[in-house]
Amino acid sequence: MDFNVNSSPSSSSTFSSTPHPMTTTTSDPMHSWWESISKARSQILALSSIISDLSLSFSSSFSLSTLADSDRPALSFLSSPDAYLLLSSALSAPHSGSGPDPLCQWLYETYLSNDPHLRLIVLSFLPLISGIYLSRLHYPESSSSSLPSLAGFEAVLLAIYSSEAKSRAGKAITVQIPDLAQPSLYHTPRNRQSANIADKSGPSVGILCPPLEHQNAVKSTKRATIVGVALDCYFKQISQMPSWSKVEFCKFATAWAGQDCLCEREFDGDDETEKAGYFLEDAGMENGNDEIGDVVVEKMSKLGIDNDNAEDLKPKGLRIPLPWELLQPMLRILGHCLLGPLNSQDVKDAASMAVRRLYARASHDINPQAILATRSLIQLNKRASAAAKAAAAANSSSNVNTPSKAKKPEVLLVSK
């Protein structure tokens, strides 16, 4: 199922890898601002026409064209839950992601536009794209033995990968490893001879990611690396991602880990996870009081989406291979979702469930790297939750014990 990006444009299952010609940049900031606004408006209007051509039955007054008239069209789109659900429903259609899919063509061209705000829109849908892509790849819905056509999704993933490979310029991502033979991390050998001995004792540079090779197609041997690099690009911009995008990723991470297992509750002394009420059934929301599910149902009801279609948007509990090239960026994203101070409680709850499922998966697979990473995230999450509860209790007790000042008696001036 190789996907050739450089194939002829006449092919219905491929996209052209040549980006649109960029306009000449000027030093005038007002001109650059207006150029970015105009580009965002044209792209959103083009998406609105694509959505209308898909003949989706949405009985809602919401329209993407209203976002194009705002002062910041791209950022308004990024912060609109209605726009996210509208595009998510289109991406989750049964025949989405094929070669001639106009929606994937729009995402592909939008990312190649090199506009930072438009790129954020594409990255916000990366959890959904990668989730649907990997789920359909390993569990095709059709009964035929041939793999489904997912060239559209592969084109978007390959565009993000190629852009990141170009920015790294063939260099590996490294990290400095301190020499544990020295008295401290900040110790410097006094003479050159001891320094040479220290250098020969072991490597001082660790490779986090090897140099990225240029890829013209999504091959089965490179699929995990391509998706992992795309998720790493998502992680770099995760502070600007909306909460529903992070929750979407956590749901798919939970689904990829597999079914529920008692191993994930190994760290719960009093079944905190069950009391929190965010257990997921098949990576969907099984608790009736779940706020995430209520918000999604409410938004979909506003858009006029049937409940049957809404159920299709929920990722199933599908266990897929998770090599380290894919699992490493996943854990980075989940670490931010767990410990990010500005994340909502919905994001933290979904990430906590995903990390516990991945820990159970790693325990069954006997994967030491994954066990250590997921176990560390669980412990950090428990300590952060305990510290937050202690701070809240201390704050409430200080408010109770603080004596209130006696009010002065009111003096009424009465005229005689």
Would you place residue 54 in the very low, low, confident or very high pLDDT band (cuts 50, 70, 90)?
low
pLDDT mean over 265-274: 52
Of 55-59, 127-131, 166-170, 383-387, where does mean pLDDT reach its minimum?
55-59
Of 17-21, 106-110, 210-214, 265-269, where does mean pLDDT reach its minimum?
17-21
Of all residues in the chain, the percent with pLDDT exceeding 90 is 32
pLDDT mean over 143-155: 76
pLDDT mean over 111-124: 91
Return d(Cα 218, Cα 225) in angstroms, integer. 10
pLDDT mean over 208-233: 90
Higher pLDDT, 59 or 53: 53
322 three-state secondary structure: coil
pLDDT mean over 309-335: 77
Helices (H), 202-305: 223-236, 243-257, 272-276, 291-303
pLDDT mean over 291-319: 49
pLDDT mean over 230-238: 95
pLDDT value of residue 56: 54
pLDDT value of residue 31: 64
pLDDT mean over 137-159: 79
Has this prediction a pTM greater than 0.85?
Answer: no
In angstroms, what CA-CA distances link 304 with 26, 53, 56, 61, 82? Answer: 45, 17, 10, 10, 11
Residue 310: pLDDT above 50? no
pLDDT value of residue 332: 95
Higher pLDDT, 5 or 133: 133
pLDDT value of residue 99: 82
Phi, psi of 281 (to 5 degrees): -100, 115
Are the beta carbons of 111 and 147 closer than 8 angstroms? no
Higher pLDDT, 246 or 25: 246
pLDDT mean over 59-82: 80
pLDDT value of residue 178: 73
For Cα atoms 323, 326, 332, give the angle at the middle one, nearest 5 degrees.
125
Higher pLDDT, 389 or 60: 389
pLDDT value of residue 393: 82
- When computed from its CA atoms, the radius of gyration of the chain, rounded to whole angstroms, is 26
DSSP structure string for 68-92: HTSSSHHHHHHT-HHHHHHHHHHHT
Per the structure block, which two tokens stand in for 259?
A: 């079914």
Of 13-17, 235-239, 250-254, 403-407, where does mean pLDDT reach its minimum?
13-17
Residue 376: pLDDT above 80? yes
Higher pLDDT, 66 or 266: 66
Of 94-108, 215-229, 313-327, where does mean pLDDT reach its minimum?
313-327
Which amino acid, residue 9? P
E strand or H helix at 103: helix 102-112
Contacts for 134 with CB less than 8 Å, ≥ 6 apart: 227, 256, 320
pLDDT value of residue 12: 38
pLDDT in tens, 345-373: 999 999 999 999 999 999 988 999 999 99
